[in-house]
Amino acid sequence: MSFPQRRPRRLRTTPAMRRLTAEFRLDPAELILPAFVREGITEPNPLTSMPGVVQHTMDSLKKAAAEAVDLGVGGIMLFGIPAERDAVGSAGTDPNGILNRGIAAVREEVGDELVIMSDVCLDEFTDHGHCGVLDENGVVDNDTTLEIYGRMAVEQARAGAHVLGPSGMMDGQIAVIRQALDEAGYTDVSLFAYAAKYASAFYGPFREAVDSQLKGDRRTYQMDAANRREALVEVELDLEEGADMVMVKPAMSYLDVLADVAAMSPVPVGAYQISGEYAMIEAAAANGWIDRRRAIEESVLGIKRAGANMILTYWATELAAWLKESK
């Protein structure tokens, strides 16, 4: 009798065999492209810490959205960078604020061909860079912030967003936003809750992307990297409050959390491959230290394997093009 009889390598012998027996494969439809639109610029502005990513003009944003549609990308997540900031983030609730104009422009460009999502959070709009307003002691005031989120959400729905992504990690934000939307008649606008969002060093390049004014950190509202079980509390609360989809963020350093959430969630689960994850791979690839395309594909596939139904990635469009060409 020859040894060994069990040879798992048999299923790895040819590309065709590996393709046939793959347990997971990526699909452009599950990818979401995060995109930044900046007020007052006439040319797209490249980001130093995220090579290949730009702050868009209204025109270049529309082109990026149209290109995403052509390649079968599932959705776009919009962030706005205002020209003026204040303590309460007024540009976020202004119907003519940059994010709301960006949503309307994308909706006009692509209609319902792409799921249009937008960030419900104050950090891009406040002059102190926190995700909520501050009380007299400089602490982020949960309940005062909620009221502003409600108004912000209604304006984003009015502008034409299909899905809102509350990312501020205020307690009760999903319930308050749901109620505000329902009262304004936007009962069909969905909530994609950034349910388990951790305070992470990997958001670094995003700070450049949105020209963040933040000094300090977000540890009093975003989750502690030391906690796994607590993610389930956050997800359960968001589900009770009416979340239609839930997200784990960042992705790479939190794949265990993603797997836990995927195992218990009755609603679709997303994961956000964030700016620092993007920057690390781009930087290593630029140095010739890793194979860029393989590293990108492997990193996104890992997020899918951990249980994500939807993946936010700055490579969404490029990855969709690769997937199309390999079909």
Taking a C-beta distance cutoff of 8 angstroms, is the pair 200, 253 a contact?
A: yes
Nearer to ligand PBG, 131 or 159 (CB): 131
Tell which one of 93, 118, 126, 275 touches ligand PBG (CB under 6 A): 275
Minimum CB–partner distance for residue 3 and ligand PBG (Å): 50
Residue 71 is encoded by which pair of tokens? Answer: 């390649």
How many residues in the chain?
327
Q: Which of these segments, 115-123, 136-144, 147-155, 291-299, binds ligand PBG (CB under 6 A)?
A: 115-123
Q: Is 137 strand, coil or helix?
A: coil
Cα separation, 147 vs 159, whole angstroms: 19
User: Measured from the CB of residue 169, what is the shortest distance to ligand PBG in angstroms?
Assistant: 8
Can you tell me whether residue 185 is helix, strand or coil?
coil
Residue from the set 142, 167, 265, 299 that interacts with ligand PBG by CB under 6 A: 167
Is 119 a binding residue for ligand PBG by CB under 6 A? The answer is yes
Buried b / exposed e along 247-271 (16+ C-beta atoms within 10 A): bbbbbbebbebbebbbeebebbbbb
Residue from 161, 274, 311, 320 that binds ligand PBG (CB under 6 A)?
274
Question: Closest separation between CB of residue 36 and ligand PBG, Å?
Answer: 10
Q: Which residues are annotated as a binding site for 5-aminolevulinate?
A: 207, 218, 275, 314
**203 lies in the binding site for ligand PBG (CB under 6 A):** yes
215 is catalytic: no
What CA–CA distance (Å, rounded) separates 302 from 296? 10
Q: Looking at beta carbons only, is 185 or 216 nearer to ligand PBG?
A: 216
- Regarding 206 and contact with ligand PBG (CB under 6 A), the answer is yes
| Of 113 and 214, CB closest to ligand PBG | 214
Choosing from 63, 215, 249, 324, the catalytic residue is 249
Token pair listed for 96: 């003519």
Question: Can you tell me the distance from the alpha carbon of 39 to that of 100, in angstroms, rounded to the nearest whole number?
Answer: 11
CB nearer to ligand PBG: pick between 30 and 119:
119
Indicate which single residue of 30, 94, 109, 123 sits in contact with ligand PBG (rule: CB under 6 A). 123
282 binds ligand PBG (CB under 6 A): no
**One-letter amino acid identity for 244?**
D
Out of 62, 197, 304, 324, the active site residue is 197
Q: Nearest approach, Cβ of 127 to ligand PBG (angstroms)?
A: 15
The answer to whether residue 324 is catalytic is no
H or E element, residue 305: helix 292-306
Q: Can you list the pairs that 107-110 forms with residues at least 24 positions away whose Cβ atoms lie under 8 Å?
A: 107/159, 107/160, 107/161, 108/160, 109/62, 109/65, 109/66, 110/65, 110/66, 110/68, 110/69
Binding site for ligand PBG (CB under 6 A): 119, 121, 123, 167, 203, 206, 218, 274-275
Catalytic residues: 197, 249
